Chains A and B, each alone.
Chain A
Amino acid sequence: MNGFFDIPSDLQHSWFGLIGLHLREALLPVLAGLLAALPIAQLCVRFRWLYPPVLGVTTVFYAIPSLAFFVVLIDYTGQTELTVMIPLAVYSLVVLVPAIVDGVRSVPQETLAAATALGLGPLRRYLQVQLPIAVPAIVAGLRVAAVSSISLVSVGMLIGNQGALGNLLQDARNYHRPELAVNSVVTTAALAICVDAALVGVRRLLTPWMPRTARHGGRPSAARPAGAAAPEAEEAAR
């Protein structure tokens, strides 16, 4: 009963169950973040003066420790997944907003002028020209946001076992089973790598129009969320 994949019954999930839960808790917030970031970024592109304050606000949000977030949210959303997911969604904005803004700005002036001159209205221009061309930069942002979200979910264990794979860390201590901690760390890392690879695949599917030589862009670094989109954005601009 003490095998690597034998998950204590208090977690009410198998190993695969925990993985599914982990992915949901990590990726739904990124998706929500993306849906929020698209209009915010568009406003920042449209009204240039808005971009610096928006960047400031998202950075400040990112600086709030998740525990502090939980303390505030727990009064409203209780010890639920939602309490974990809301901060993660807010954190993803710090990466996604600049990524989308850079991506949309990377559309060459001539391309935009041509789109206008051919009679595309503002909405068509956004949906049919700016957004598709921004896809590489947006996916680059999504990769950073998804990977960092996957690692952050584990903190949820502090509010009543809402940390999915992270809960194994607590159980490792409670039951004196260090292999559970190893399982938690290794599985989380493997998940992050798989999701990252999947996103690269998605980008390749969406951008058959990119020169192959430019596809090996710099790997976005989670340590520099705000600047992470830059190499990919330049790649898109070429």
Chain B
Amino acid sequence: MIRIDTVTKRYPDGTVAVDRLSLDIPDRSITVLVGPSGCGKTTTLRMINRMVEPTEGTILLDGADIRDQPVTALRRSMGYVIQNAGLFQHRTVVDNIATVPRLLGWSKQKARARAAELMERVGLDASLAKRYPYQLSGGQQQRVGVARALAADPPVLLMDEPFSAVDPVVRKGLQDELLRLQEELGKTIVFVTHDIDEAVTLGTMVAVLRTGGRLAQYAPPAELLSAPADAFVEDFLGTDRGFRRLSFFGSATLRLRTAPVVTADATAEQIAAGAAEAPYVLVTDADGTPLGWAEPRDLTAGRIDPARLLPHGRPFVHGTGSLRAALDCAVLSPTGWAVAVDEAGRAVGVVSQQAIGEAIRAAHGTHRAEAAEEAGVTG
């Protein structure tokens, strides 16, 4: 565990970057430091590997003061990923990744073998090994940055706005990749971002810092969204806080209707059964892949023309998808009904906005009951 104990960073000109900050960063989880610019989040991160020395307070790593060991040894035991990757432009991809193993005295051969292994792990093609950074896309550079940080298998990974300079689609891919990697590797990750969405997506714990380097709230993301500590945190979370909170409620509780899902060669009885439960029926191909919506009276039994169907929008995965995904799907659907699919993309049912609304109210109720119970136990 990393324990930040009443740490203050004051610069000679009197500016206070971090003000009496205390944080316990749990092992094998992602802790996100988030806040507006000037809130001291990067300074805090850099104090953990002593690129910035605190003016007051101490930082303990597994109970030992980080100042107890030589600074280069400390840094080599902590991976570091920086915005724009900060790659060494004069070194090839494989040599960039091998930097820390080489510093630790590994043979060139062993370091390169390790680098090749990491390239695979972060999803880089082996053919890129001999390329120079200028020959890579922004997303690839960032992956090299992550691989370089992981090269010596450090227990701690510090990430300073690593994905903020790439476009949203690439960023989403990198975030998913990080979560997948974390599941495999179980590092203690401290992640700095100014993007609250990123914080909520990635964080096991989220620390919201306010200008002047003071801690506003330190909580798991679901708690942050349901119970912001004050007006600042509430503002920072933005206007669609309620909608985002739905990310933490699963869609397994939704009661799907299966009758309105029919195949293209459906009989008149099947269409009538579907029409009894919903104003529209969802037509699928023989494999169950959704094709589109249709009003039952427009359908000719036995030969439905897929070209005349209404688009079904993006479906959500029943079970693993969140209520947010389900609601989004229903809102975007021309019929107001969401399409649920299984992992293979086959339609398993449909659900109305109204039914999703009921599930949301039920989920809030359950959450409130749990929170009250927890408060009863601790208080």
Within 8 A of B (CB), among A185-215: 207-211
Tell me the complex Cα distance, A210–B135, Å: 10
Tell me the complex Cα distance, A119–B51, Å: 10
Q: Which residues of B contact A129 (CB under 8 A)?
A: 88, 90
B88 and A110: CB pair below 8 A? no
Interface string of B72-86 (1 = CB under 8 A from A): 111110101011111
Within 8 A of A (CB), among B134-156: 134, 145, 148
Total contacting residues, chain B, CB less than 8 A: 29
Chain B CB within 8 A of A113 CB = yes
Chain B CB within 8 A of A71 CB = no
Interface string of A117-143 (1 = CB under 8 A from B): 111110010000100110100000000
Chain A CB within 8 A of B172 CB = no
A108-B86, A132-B90 known; A113 vs B103 contact (CB < 8 Å): no
A117-B51, A118-B103 known; A110 vs B90 contact (CB < 8 Å): no
Chain A CB within 8 A of B91 CB = yes
Chain B CB within 8 A of A82 CB = no
- Secondary structure at the A interface, as helix, strand, loop or mixed, is helix
Chain A CB within 8 A of B248 CB = no
Chain B CB within 8 A of A115 CB = yes
Chain B CB within 8 A of A111 CB = yes
Most buried by A among B74, B75, B78, B145: B75
B100 and A119: CB pair below 8 A? yes
User: CB < 8 Å: which of A110, A118, A121, A210 contacts B100?
Assistant: A118
Chain B CB within 8 A of A116 CB = yes
Total contacting residues, chain A, CB less than 8 A: 22
Within 8 A of A (CB), among B52-93: 72-76, 78, 80, 82-92
B86 and A111: CB pair below 8 A? yes
Most buried by A among B80, B87, B88, B92: B88
B75 and A110: CB pair below 8 A? no
A110-B84, A121-B72, A211-B134 known; A116 vs B89 contact (CB < 8 Å): no
> B residues bordering A, Cβ < 8 Å?
49, 51, 72-76, 78, 80, 82-92, 99-100, 103, 132-134, 145, 148, 158
Among all A-B residue pairs, the 8 with the closest Cβ atoms? A114-B86, A110-B86, A117-B80, A119-B75, A119-B76, A209-B132, A119-B72, A132-B90
